[in-house]
A and B are shown apart, each in its own frame.
Chain A
């Protein structure tokens, strides 16, 4: 994990003086500049991650008012990340994020929420197929022939990393550390990245935006090493559930941060089934 940059939005705040409101609000958990960051701007910052000053202090976390009954420390809900794989609202996330949920709510970065339902679960692969039962504008391209390469730089996005600001996504970068997809019973990609709770279900893409896998966890004894389900197993899971992934927008057609935010969303288990 090279760096983590909190992605926030810019807002124009009116004033008498000719001021230009520019969003900076960044954090870097390792104090380095995110390679994903683009130049900050007054209007374009909403579409692209912004560059973090080296050593920039971590800003206070923002928190929208909680709904009744949801205190700041209690009544929290299980959360993770998901990403769309089709224009008709099919979405992938991790099984452990949504399993046992009586009600699943999906919040995109910048739009209204959807109610989602589980279409299929893969327990061994930790893959969950959801549907928001609505058309979505952007989705990932699932090309099962994409092979992750050792040392290749990858990026992912995580929602819910900040418990009080679950809709604020965090984009992380790392590199492929190992690829065990050739092992019969150990189909996982090892990523050199310090990912955090909330990253589960996030898409792992290369620098061109091609989907390589989906984050499912990290090594318990090495917090700097995350694991992801490889694209090959995702494709097999979709095939087993008779879902033919359509081709999506051309990767690289838009900034990587915008691409990740566009196809991903916060997944919240807003109601657990009674056990």
Chain B
């Protein structure tokens, strides 16, 4: 009879603790990868479990004295609540750290993406001006790149020409006529 009463008390306290923890919302974290223990309201669970254990032990040790059982349950609730609160605090600090780390990682990724978009493609080494060192005397010389700046090319190409006229005597007359011919995009040759 006595043991049955203890079991009923413990079960009731456990049910109470379970209901409390079940009603508590899980920890919402930015990282989402916190331990499972951080997904419950540890303070509430601690209060419930502490009350149940304390009540059960108090009832058992006092041979059914209700006053002692209630007092022990209250004491257990306080101790359990304190332990649970400490756990919640640890989880909160861990969540803050994870959130800070995630924000930093996001910032770094955004900066890298911006740098990538800003950089010239392909993202390879850029031209570096080099020097020529004379193998004979070791003298160093700067090098001037020989790219140019020109009009954009078109499909039309032009040529200057000189005409050679063959006279009646069969002798050519060089340079008697000069001109210029262009080939257009249509492939037709015309004077320019």
A positions within 8 Å CB-CB of B: 8-13, 17-25, 59-60, 62-67, 70, 72, 75-80, 94-97, 99-100, 105, 107, 110, 112-113, 118, 120-124, 126, 158, 160-168, 178-180, 182-183, 186, 188, 190, 195-201, 215-222, 226-227, 266, 268, 270, 273, 275
Within 8 Å by CB of B146, from A24, A110, A118, A218, lies: A218
CA distance A25 to B158 in the complex (A): 11
B164 to chain A, nearest CB (A): 5
Least distance between A207 CB and chain B CB atoms (Å): 23
- Number of B residues whose C-beta is below 8 Å from A? 53
* A-facing residues in B110-165 (Cβ within 8 Å): 120-122, 124-128, 130-136, 141-165
Which B residues are CB-close (under 8 A) to A72? 151
Report the Cα distance A18→B171, complex, angstroms: 12
Inside 8 A of A168's CB, which chain B residues have their CB? 157
CA distance A19 to B161 in the complex (A): 13
Inter-chain contact B144/A217, CB cutoff 8 Å:
yes
Interface centre among B127, B142, B163, B172 (most CB of A within 10 A): B127
B146–A215 touching, CB < 8 Å: yes
A70 touches B147 (CB 8 A): no
Tell me which residues across on chain B come within 8 A of A118, comparing CB atoms.
121-122
CB-contact partner of A64 in B131, B164, B177, B182, under 8 A: B182
Is B189 in the interface zone, CB < 8 Å from A? yes
User: Which residues of the partner chain A approach B155 to less than 8 Å between Cβ atoms?
Assistant: 112-113
Query: Is B1 at the interface (CB under 8 A from chain A)?
Result: no
* Chain A residues, Cβ within 8 Å of B127: 95-96, 99, 121, 123, 126
Looking at B133, B134, B158, the one whose CB has the most chain A CB atoms below 10 A away is B158
Chain B residues, Cβ within 8 Å of A100: 120
Which residues from chain A contact B120 at a C-beta distance below 8 Å? Answer: 99-100, 273, 275
CA A162 to CA B131, docked complex, whole Å: 27
Q: When A80-B148, A161-B148 are in contact, do A22 and B164 touch as well, CB less than 8 Å?
A: yes
Query: Which B residues have a C-beta under 8 Å from some C-beta of A?
Result: 120-122, 124-128, 130-136, 141-166, 172, 174-175, 177, 179-183, 189, 191-192
Known: A13-B181, A19-B166, A24-B161. A198 touches B146 (CB 8 A): yes
Given A78-B147, A199-B146: A23 and B159 interface contact (C-beta under 8 Å): yes
Considering the chains assembled together, what is the distance between the CA atoms of A67 and B155 in angstroms? 10
A-B contact pairs, 6 of them (CB 8 A): A11-B161, A19-B165, A66-B154, A113-B155, A217-B145, A219-B142
- Do the beta carbons of B160 and A196 come within 8 Å of each other? no
**Shortest Cβ distance from B165 into A: residue:** A19
A74's nearest neighbour on chain B, judged by CB, is B151
Additional pairs, 5, CB under 8 Å, beyond known A64-B158, A121-B124, A163-B151: A10-B161, A123-B124, A163-B149, A186-B135, A195-B146
